[in-house]
Amino acid sequence: MHRFFIPPEACHNDPLRLSPQESKHARSVLRLREGDRVVVLNGAGKELLCQASEVRGEAVSLSIVQENNIAPLPFEITLYQAVAKGKAMDFIAQKAAELGAHRIVPVLSERSVPDWDKAKATAKVEKWRTICVESIKQCGSAWLPRLELPMTPKEALVDARQSDLSLIATLQPDAKHPREQIDAYALEHGQTPHKLAIWVGPEGDYTPAEINTIRTGAQPITLGPLVLRSETAAIYCLAVLNYELQARP
């Protein structure tokens, strides 16, 4: 079945109505017909099985057949990602949504992007949010990552204090395997971290000064001996952390 996205505040009515853009896509591209069944995701844990009750022009109405509440993952991972150049950040947002990231915090490091004003930063975040919406529709996730406005490393470090455990991917010699850091936390606290932060640098990595700042609140982890692209490192981290945390009781 085809999947559509309707934000939580618009999911209280029956029938539901797709946005003009979603309606046009449903009718012209997907060839949706009245009586067809579809799935609606609201990005906040609700999955709605619906039946198309009206398909006309750019107006598509969906009658709710069944509501399912999808539990979130038993942990929350926040990706503190230095803004990558070109379309790499779009790719990172897409894959972070697929891999179940709870939040995405763009970090404006010295080696990532030029200065943005508030309007451009807001527009970029809205673009990445749209990419995440398309991503959860593709993979069937009922949970949409939260996209935050870009922060400096110092601002992000303050934000990351809400995490139980913060990690930074680095090639520094004292970096440990992610499992070692999670094991050390579990040994000290008697449980695995519920809120986990992972920092990933830009091409060329964070500057030494930025790394020193971030490491006042984050433990270093290694991704192996090879130098990875920023987008590869982000996917690696999210995949490995998901694996490690889901494998534990």
Closest-CA residue to 6 (of 176, 121, 137, 200):
137
87 in the same domain as 15: no
Digit-coded pLDDT (tens) for 92-115: 999 999 999 999 999 999 888 767
Domain count, the chain: 2
Structure tokens at 124: 């970029």
Predicted local confidence at residue 189, as pLDDT: 96
137 in the same domain as 32: no
60 in the same domain as 81: no
How high does pLDDT run on average in the chain?
A: 93
Q: Which residues pair with 61 in a beta bridge?
A: 17, 54
178 in the same domain as 110: yes
65 in the same domain as 141: no
- Domain span at residue 212 reads 76-246
**What CATH number should be reported for the domain holding residue 15?**
2.40.240.20
- Ranges of H-type helices in the chain: 20-24, 88-98, 118-139, 153-159, 178-189, 208-214, 230-246
80 in the same domain as 15: no
SS3 196: strand
Whether the full predicted model's pTM is greater than 0.75, yes or no, is yes
Digit-coded pLDDT (tens) for 127-136: 999 999 999 9
231 in the same domain as 156: yes
Residue 168 sits at φ, ψ, to 5 deg, of: -130, 130
